Amino acid sequence: MPHDHHGHHGHAHIDPDAGDRRVALAVLVNFGLAFVQIVGGLLSGSLALIADAIHNLSDAVSLVIAFGARKIARRPADSDMTFGYARVETVAALINYTTLIVIGIYLIYEGVMRIFDPVGIDGWIVVIIAAVALSVDLVTAALTYTMSKDSMNIRAAFLHNLADALGSVAVIVAGTLIILYDWMIVDPIVTLMIAAYILWHAAVEIGDVIRVLMLGRPPSVKMDDVLKAMKNIDGVTGVHHVHLWQLEEKKAALQAHVVIGEGRWGDADAIKTRIRTVLADLKIDHSTLEMECSRHVCLDTPVVGH
C-alpha cells in the first residue's frame, strides 16, 4: 500500500554507527529471548508461546538481515553497481516480509491442528515467559523506532517487533485464562490470532517493497503531473520515451526524450536546466534528458516507456 516516504526528511537522522549498535543490541536480545521462549513453550506445552518464539526468532533473523543490508547500502557506486548499493535494503525488506508470510501460514496450520487435538498447558510458565518477552519486544521496538521512519528495511524489522509485542500480550491473556478457567482451547485460538496479524502486516507492507524492485513509479509522484510540468516549460513542444521509477526508497529517477521547438535549439541547455528544476520540485532528483530538435524527432514513439 502506498506511503509517502518523502515526508520523513524532517526527522533527525541517526549517526550510522550508533544505528548499527542499536540494531546489534536488538539482535542479541531477540536471539536470547527466542531461546527462552522455545524452552518455556516445550516445558509448558503451549503452542502460542512457541508461535511467539518462532516469531521472535524471525525478528532476530530479520534484524541480522537489516543490519547486513545497512552496512552494504553505505558502499559507494562502482563499475558493477553503478546506481550504488542502497537497493539491497529493499531486497532485505522483501526477504523479511516473505519469511513473515511463511511463518504466518505455518502457525495457522499448527493452530488448526491443535484445536482438533488439544493438550494440557502450564499457564504460569506461559504467563511469566510471555511477560519477559513483552518487555524485550518493547525495548527492541524502542531501539529501532527512530530508524524505522527513514528506512523501509528497518521498518520491516520494527514491524516484526511490534507484531511480536502484541503476540506476547495475547499469550499473557491466554495463559491467564488457562490458569483461571482451564480453557486450553484459548491457546490455539491465540496462535491463530498471532498468525492472522503477522499475515496482515506483511500483506500491507510488501506492496511498497515490490513497487521499488519492479521499478514502479514513486507513489507520491503522479506521471500526469510530471508530463504536464515538463510540457509547460517554454521551448518544449513534446516529451516521449518517459521512464519514471523509484531508484531506492527515497530517491526517484526519470529518463526522457524532450523535443525542443523550431528555432529554439540555442536555448536547449537553459531549457534542460529549467526542466531539472521543475523535476526537483516534484521530488525527482536524478534525471537523464535527451534533447531532440523538432526536425529530427523520434517517430511513432509512446509517451511513456519504449
Give CA angle at 212 (14, 84), nearest 5°.
60
What the block records as the C-alpha cell of 178 is 488457562
What the block records as the C-alpha cell of 21 is 549498535
pLDDT in tens, 242-295: 999 988 777 899 999 999 998 899 999 999 999 999 999 999 988 999 999 888
Domain 5-213 has CATH 3.40.1190.20: no
Burial 85-114 (b: 16+ CB within 10 A, else e): bbbbbbbbbbbbbebbeebbeebbebbeeb
pLDDT in tens, 183-218: 888 888 888 988 888 888 788 889 888 998 999 999
Judged by DSSP in three states, 239 sits in: strand
Characterise 45 by phi-psi region: left (phi > 0), alpha (psi -120 to 50), beta (else): left
Residues forming CATH 3.30.70.1350 domain(s) in the chain? 223-296
Question: In this predicted structure, what is the pLDDT of residue 15?
Answer: 59
**Chain CA centroid to CA 255, Å:** 26
Pairing type for strands 236-248 and 251-260 reads antiparallel
Give the percent of the chain with pLDDT over 90.
24
Question: In this predicted structure, what is the pLDDT of residue 27?
Answer: 80
Length of the chain: 306
Residues forming CATH 1.20.1510.10 domain(s) in the chain? 5-213
Give the Cβ contact number of residue 296 at 10 Å. 7
**In this structure, are residues 137 and 168 in contact, taking their beta carbons and an 8 Å threshold?**
yes
User: What does the alpha-carbon distance between residue 26 and residue 151 come to, in Å, rounded to a whole number?
Assistant: 16
User: Which fold is adopted by the domain 223-296?
Assistant: Alpha-Beta Plaits (3.30.70)
What is the maximal distance between C-alpha atoms in the chain? Answer: 87
Give the percent of the chain with pLDDT over 70.
92
pLDDT at residue 81 tops 50: yes
pTM for the full model? Answer: 0.71
**In this structure, are residues 239 and 231 in contact, taking their beta carbons and an 8 Å threshold?**
yes
pLDDT in tens, 82-105: 888 888 888 888 988 888 898 889
